[in-house]
């Protein structure tokens, strides 16, 4: 399929318009919320998307009580018997950084100099922060104002999928097989597939989520969460000699024994890590939560064994101290499933190359809904959205990425639709 200039110009305008609209809508998820989805604003965002889909004449839509959206995009005439393909993006943005009152800013004709932010004069985005910026000198860059994240993760994915649906409606010459569009809640919490109805999605899917221009991802971390509870003893500090067991103080000492070289700040590529991201408590009791990541499960098991050794040492050192450690396996490395699915991966590779992009095979230093779907028997690689520095106030996306990701999706469905 040849995507001519007229179609490209339309897609670029439509994707940009949708993206700028969606990032302004608050849809942050909330960790440890007692409900699913974790926030009502994801449901409200979903209602807007459902309305946008209906405006395109797509009426076979389910928006269920859990916030999932399933929309069946009818095939072009003569393509009804082709294999259905699923396109997935997530509704929520990360709770790590404020996602309310996002105001997108387009930095036109980026000149390579540091980008400054209106709402935080001390915040600066420079090439040292993201070397990829150098590739976009002379192009338009989109960021927020410095007091919020941007939300390209994953509002860009949603906008790109909707722009493709719009192109199918506006340009009937772009013929395609059946497509199921799916939008999930709470992906950022690692529970995006918690209430998924697998019967409503095809047996082959692709997430459109994260990754720089040209990236295809079919490997991710093996992921564990550890919850560690320190049970101490509170005594009046004036009379505490040989009696007090200060739980929160001991917890700090405990985590100072984790190897600094195995922290996110000091790891890259295929290196795993421990990441302590929550610690609260007092003398009587302290609770910590950390995540453990590696591409190989055996390496994570070694990290968990090390935590158990620390537990034994600290309980011996502080008589009366009790440490409880529990683990949750959050998701597997999806390469365990996708390395057997050569055709699914090869078609995605070709779709990227057909968009005149350099193909970049990248192992995700994180996870996607695709990891859990792949483990459930639905192979789901990830295709880039084009954004960078996600989950931060320096997050940005080059405008060209919005067009190119949409173009790749068009190529992807075209390739599947013309499979014999």
pLDDT at 420 over 70: no
Is residue 283 classed as helix, strand or coil in its secondary structure? coil
pLDDT digits 0-9 by tens, 215-231:
999 999 999 999 999 99
> Strands 215-220, 205-208: parallel, antiparallel or unpaired by DSSP?
unpaired
DSSP-assigned states of every residue in 156-215: HHHHHHHHHHHHHHH-TTS----EEEEEES-GGGT-TTTT--GGGS-SSEEEE----TTE
- Give CA–CA dist 397/388, Å, rounded: 6
pLDDT classification of 316: cutoffs 50, 70, 90? very high
Catalytic residues: 92, 187
pLDDT at 118 over 70: yes
Does 5-220+333-417 carry CATH code 1.10.3210.50? no
pLDDT digits 0-9 by tens, 257-282:
999 999 999 999 999 999 999 999 99
State the pTM of this model. 0.89
What pLDDT score does 419 carry?
85
| Mean pLDDT lowest among 293-302, 369-378, 397-406 | 369-378
- Give CA–CA dist 5/3, Å, rounded: 7
What pLDDT score does 414 carry?
96
The contacts of residue 187 (CB under 8 Å, 6+ apart) are 29, 90, 91, 92, 154, 209, 368, 369
pLDDT at 1 over 90: no
What pLDDT score does 2 carry?
74
- Give CA–CA dist 194/332, Å, rounded: 15
Pairs from 340-344 (Cβ < 8 Å, separation ≥ 24) = 341/379, 344/204, 344/379, 344/381
Determine contact, residues 260/242, Cβ cutoff 8 Å. no
Domain locations in the chain as residue ranges? 5-220+333-417, 223-331
Compute the CA torsion angle 134, 136, 140, 141 (nearest 10 deg).
Answer: -60
Query: What Å distances lie between residue 315 and 132, 252, 301, 308, CA to CA?
Result: 47, 14, 21, 11
CATH architecture of the domain formed by 223-331: 2-Layer Sandwich (3.30)
What pLDDT score does 318 carry?
97
- Mean residue pLDDT across the chain: 96
């Amino acid at each position: 399929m040849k995507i001519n200039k007229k179609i490209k110009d339309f897609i670029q305008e439509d994707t940009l318009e949708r993206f700028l609209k969606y990032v302004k809508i608050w849809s942050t998820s909330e960790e440890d919320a007692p409900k699913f989805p974790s926030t009502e604003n994801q449901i409200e965002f979903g209602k807007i998307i459902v309305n946008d889909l209906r405006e395109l004449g797509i009426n076979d839509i389910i928006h269920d009580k859990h916030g999932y959206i399933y929309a069946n995009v009818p095939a072009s005439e003569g393509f009804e018997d082709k294999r259905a393909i699923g396109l997935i993006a997530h509704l929520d943005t990360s709770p790590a950084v404020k996602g309310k009152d996002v105001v997108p800013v387009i930095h036109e004709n980026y000149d390579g100099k540091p980008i400054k932010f209106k709402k935080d004069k001390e915040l600066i985005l420079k090439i040292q922060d993201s070397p990829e910026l150098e590739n976009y000198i002379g192009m338009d860059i989109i960021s927020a104002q410095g007091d919020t994240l941007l939300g390209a993760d994953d509002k860009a994915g949603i906008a790109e999928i909707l722009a493709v649906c719009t192109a199918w409606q506006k340009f009937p010459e772009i013929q395609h097989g059946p497509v199921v569009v799916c939008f999930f809640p709470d992906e950022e919490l690692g529970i995006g597939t918690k209430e998924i109805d697998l019967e409503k999605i095809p047996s082959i899917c692709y997430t459109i989520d994260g990754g720089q221009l040209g990236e295809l991802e079919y490997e991710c971390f093996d992921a564990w969460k550890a919850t560690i509870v320190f049970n101490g003893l509170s005594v009046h500090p004036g009379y505490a000699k040989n009696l007090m067991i200060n739980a929160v103080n001991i917890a700090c000492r405990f985590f100072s024994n984790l190897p600094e070289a195995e922290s996110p700040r000091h790891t890259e590529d295929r290196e795993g890590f421990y990441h302590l991201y929550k610690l609260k408590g007092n003398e009587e009791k302290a609770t910590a939560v950390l995540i453990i990541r590696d591409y190989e499960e055996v390496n994570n098991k070694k990290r968990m064994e090390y935590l158990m050794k620390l537990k034994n040492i600290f309980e011996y050192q502080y008589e009366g101290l009790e440490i409880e450690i529990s683990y949750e396996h959050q998701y597997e490395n999806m390469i365990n499933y996708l390395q057997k699915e050569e055709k699914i991966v090869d078609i995605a590779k070709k779709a990227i190359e057909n968009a005149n992009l350099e193909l970049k095979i990248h192992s995700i230093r994180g996870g996607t809904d695709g990891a859990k779907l792949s483990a459930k028997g639905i192979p789901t690689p990830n295709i880039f959205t084009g954004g960078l520095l996600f989950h931060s106030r320096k997050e940005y996306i080059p405008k060209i990425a919005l067009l190119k990701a949409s173009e790749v999706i068009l190529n992807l469905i075209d390739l599947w639709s013309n499979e014999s």
